[in-house]
Chain A
Amino acid sequence: MRRVNKSAFGITALVIVIFTVLSFVGISTQYGDIKKVYIKGVEDIRWGIDIRGGVDVTFTPPEGVKATNEQMDSVKEVIVQRLVGLNITDHEVYVDYNKDRLIVRFPWKAGDESFDPEAAVNEIGETAMLTFRESYMTDPETGLWTGVTEENIILEGSDVENAQPGYDEQQGEFIVQLRLTEDGREKFSEATKRLAVTKDSISIWMDKSMISNATVQTHISEGSAVISGNFTAESAKALADKINAGALPFELVTANFSTISPTLGLGARDAMALSGAVAFIVIAIFMTYNYRLPGVVAIIALMGQVAGSIAAITGFFGFLDSFTLTIPGIAGIVMAVGMGVDANILTAERIREELYRGKTLNGAIESGFKRGFTAIFDGNLTIIFVAIILMGAFGPPDSLFAKLLSPVFFMFGPSTAGAIYSFGYTLLVGVVFNFVMGVTCSRIMVMALSKTKTFSNKWLYGGENNA
């Protein structure tokens, strides 16, 4: 076993304390309104929608419609663009090709009191199928297209390269200007040439509602078109945005829609934070009372372990992205702390036992850590297995663990329970840090302390007083 120097305690404890402070507080500078974050702290944690509130919605094509993978990809593209268009940049979008589902999650926008999640979902899922149709023939009862208007679609959304809101100064009204693709230009040119003769009209539809109907005056061949019709500045821009976001290949139906308000979730977060702090104090009292010096060392190691979990969530380490923390995620940290407590107890019990067998302090500590380790190793490794299975089963479909476990879960689509994924992640990093802190750092600290005169009394390690 490696020799441990007396000074190792101070160094290890200091490193853990600095690491803890850094991972909680982070480092950032503030010049006026501009905050630059160098190391992310607790404040920068991305909370899950079960905590800060938000929307979790699944879109599918209507029953009976089977979408191709390409179509699902294009739906995803469209939805992402619409989310960005709504200024919802912090979103997650997953595609399930097997079940033709699209899972969209986004949090409440910070500081936006009037944010309406339902309206946002409606807007995101809107079909926005743009069509240019010949003439304007409608069924008087339903208002829907009939006859030649139903049959002859001149242009579709995909024929439009770009749409822009504009202002027609001659008419004094807001318009939407379209630039057509090469394909669209030809089709539009052909139609306008033909219709200009009969002075027939072209009607423009968004889904099943007519937004504009204009008589064709001349042959238009230069590849641009104008939509006019009672627009305001806002509605013209909104229509242009919708056209730009592209048309969906099919209608979207919402399934699995859930929202949670931030007031509900933040209460849970604060309660969790408070209970976490109190629980840590309770653990500290127990450990010190039961195991004396190794108990105190365990508290330092546990602190480091919690800090490690926090750091893995905030993105403290360069190689780990920040991770969304949900309520089950917090539970994962708690469980990993429980495993940390157990690792320290297992070792402390062993040291005590070896002391009772009459070993020297040094010998007892060495064999205590050595013999305790096999149980800690097996126990924690099984937890790592469980954590990996959870991450594979309930994580995003493109993650490593999900691919690894796809033979087991092939018949299921990606889950909507991202919360359990978060549990698996915090459990995994927590247990990994348990090996670093609860095993390695605890050992270094206890061994270093036992070398000093002040802390060489066996009583401090659970043995009989030999002072």
Chain B
Amino acid sequence: MHKFEKLDVIKLRKYTFPITIAFIVLVALISLIFGVEVDIEFKGGTLISYSYTGDMDVNSFQSKAEEIIGTGVSITIGESISENAANNINLSVNSNAGLTAERQFDLTKKLQESFASNDITLLSSNDVPPSAGREFFLKCLVAVAFSAVVLTVYIAFRFKRIGGWSAGVTSVIALLHDAIMVYATFVIFRIPINANFIAAALTILGYSINDTIVTYDRVRENRKIYGKKLNLEELMNVSVRQTLTRSINTSVTTIAAMAVICIVALIFDVKSILSFAFPLIVGMVAGVYSSVFLAGPLWVLWNDRSKKGTKKKSKSSAVKA
């Protein structure tokens, strides 16, 4: 019944490892060259969105806003898809001082007076002092790092029979890979890094570890069944083949569900959902890839190295999974 009898993930590492490393280097280069957009949630600053109707002279809006606040502002316009709805105009200030509630209040009132015909209404505003933003970001990083440690220890404990720490560390390496892919999505599609990034990264962390656990669970079981009859490479290959249908079906189902959410978010122009759901899809694909093509071969490499020389010759023909 297995459709993947020829699949040898250990041999494939000749291709998968270099491709993965090349891609990660590429992502690093892109972030270095083009920079990373960070949302004001993390870097501090003020972002205010207004809705308006009719025609808006963006230049005079900008200069008026700058005059009121006294520092430079950048303006972006969001055109609404539906005809009746008002358009959005977003105003962001990278000032270190930020705009306190009183100054925002003042700004809104003055803009409303100056552009009375545009029917300006406040949609949302967000003011974060840089120190608070940095602290929030740091806290997120600590949360992720702490989760990684807890997961490594738990997996090392639960998979004692198949090498413990090797299972724990390799599954966390796979997890890091997936987090990098989520990050890559944000960088490549120029989505500012925000709280959604953290939520998406954490979700992927969960899914990714789950994919790897399912594979290792099978390795653990097969080790019990076959004992030393299979060498590590065969053990891993058999286990991967047995669990791949599940991994693919689970991913296809959840990705399809996420895709629906993406499409609806696109139609309704809800960016907060889109910038969460889309990186999740990328992360899920990465999760299947990393648990099969990275964690598995890495685990074999690790355990092979630690007992060099005891490797037996292939007996795979004796075992039909």
> Interface on A for B, CB 8 Å cutoff?
50, 57-58, 118-119, 121-122, 125, 253-261, 263-264, 267-268, 270-272, 274-276, 278-280, 282-283, 286-287, 290, 327-328, 331, 334-335, 337-339, 341-342, 345-346, 349, 352-353, 356, 371, 374-375, 378-383, 385-386, 389-390, 393-394, 408-409, 412-413, 415-417, 419-420, 423, 427
Contacts and interface: CB of A to CB of B under 8 A. Distances in A.
A427 B143 CA distance: 16
A290 B98 CA distance: 54
Given A275-B264, A386-B147, A286 B217 contact: no
B272 A385 contact: no
B256 A286 contact: yes
Given A121-B101, A331-B199, A386 B136 contact: no
Nearest to A346: B246
Contacts of B214: 342, 346, 375, 379
B273 interface: yes
B142 A409 contact: yes
Contacts of A279: 256-258, 260-261
Contact of A385 (B128, B150, B213, B250): B150
Interface in B231-280: 242, 245-246, 249-250, 252-254, 256-258, 260-261, 263-265, 267-268, 270, 272-273, 276
Given A341-B254, A349-B246, A375-B214, A258 B265 contact: no
- Which has the most chain A C-beta neighbours within 10 Å: B158, B254, B273? B254
A282 B129 CA distance: 43
A327 B108 CA distance: 27
B195 interface: yes
Interface in B115-166: 121-129, 132, 135-136, 138-139, 142-143, 146-147, 150-151, 154-155, 158
B139 A412 contact: yes
Nearest to A327: B272
Given A345-B246, A380-B210, 4 more contacts: A268-B272, A271-B264, A341-B254, A386-B206
Interface string B69-107: 000000000000000000000000000001011101100
B273 A268 contact: yes
B261 A275 contact: yes
Contacts of B127: 254-258
24 contacts: A50-B272, A58-B132, A118-B101, A118-B105, A256-B127, A256-B132, A257-B101, A259-B125, A260-B124, A270-B268, A275-B260, A279-B260, A283-B257, A328-B196, A334-B258, A335-B207, A345-B250, A345-B253, A378-B158, A382-B209, A385-B150, A386-B202, A390-B202, A419-B195
A264 B135 contact: no
Contacts of B132: 58, 255-256, 416
Nearest to A287: B253
A118 B104 contact: yes
B174 interface: no
A389 to B, nearest CB: 5
